[in-house]
Amino acid sequence: MIPDQNRSIAVDHSNFQVRQWDFEISMKYGISRGDYEKGLRQHLSGDAWEYMSILNDLGYLGRYGRTIDLLDQLLVYPELNLNYIWIHKNACSFVKAFFMMFYPTQVGSVAEGSIHEHTQLYFTIPFKELLKTLSIIVKRPTVIIIRHPVSRLVSSYVSKFVMPLREGKSFRPYACRIIEQIIQNSKLKGRDPDDSITFREFCSYILTTDIWRVNGHWRPQAWAIPRGGFSKLILMDTESISTLLPEVVRQLNPDVAMPSFDFAEAKRNKSVEVVYKEGHGLKSVLADVLPKDISLPVAHEANNFFDKGLFDKVMKLYEEDMVLYQQVRAAHKANGPMGTGC
Tell me, yes or no, whether 23 lies in a domain: yes
pLDDT band at 324 (very low <50, low <70, confident <90, very high): very high
Regarding whether 226 and 273 lie in a shared domain, the answer is: yes
Regarding whether 81 and 56 lie in a shared domain, the answer is: no
Regarding whether 264 and 147 lie in a shared domain, the answer is: yes
Q: What string of H, E and C letters represents the secondary structure of the chain?
A: CCCCECCCCCCCHHHCCHHHHHHHHHHHHCCCHHHHHHHHHHHECHHHHHHHHHHHHCCCCCCCCCCCCHHHHEEEEHHHCEEEECCCCCCHHHHHHHHHCCCHHHHCCCCCCCHHHHHHHHHECCHHHHHHHHHHHCCCEEEEEECCHHHHHHHHHHHHHHHHHHCCCCCCHHHHHHHHHHHHHCCCCCCCHHHCCCHHHHHHHHHCCCHHHCCCCCCCHHHHCCCCCCCEEEEEECCCHHHHHHHHHHHHCCCCCCCCCCHHHHHHCCCCCCECCCCCCCCCCCCCCCHHHCCHHHHCEHHHHCCHHHHHHHHHHCHHHHHHHHHHHHHHHHHCCEEECC
The pLDDT assigned to 67 comes to 92
Tell me the pLDDT of the chain averaged across its residues: 87
State what percent of residues in the chain have pLDDT above 90: 61
User: Is 336's pLDDT higher than 70?
Assistant: no
pTM of this structure: 0.90
Regarding whether 337 and 290 lie in a shared domain, the answer is: yes
Regarding whether 84 and 46 lie in a shared domain, the answer is: no
The pLDDT assigned to 115 comes to 83
User: Is 243's pLDDT higher than 50?
Assistant: yes
Regarding whether 271 and 163 lie in a shared domain, the answer is: yes
The pLDDT assigned to 9 comes to 46
The pLDDT assigned to 108 comes to 60
Regarding whether 19 and 131 lie in a shared domain, the answer is: no
Rounded average pLDDT over 79-100: 93
Domain span at residue 270 reads 70-173+209-342
Regarding whether 249 and 336 lie in a shared domain, the answer is: yes
Regarding whether 51 and 101 lie in a shared domain, the answer is: no
Regarding whether 266 and 226 lie in a shared domain, the answer is: yes
Regarding whether 152 and 86 lie in a shared domain, the answer is: yes
User: Is 325's pLDDT higher than 80?
Assistant: yes
Domain count, the chain: 2
The pLDDT assigned to 272 comes to 67
The pLDDT assigned to 8 comes to 47
Tell me, yes or no, whether 180 lies in a domain: no
User: Is 116's pLDDT higher than 80?
Assistant: yes
Residue at a domain's end among 28, 50, 67: 67
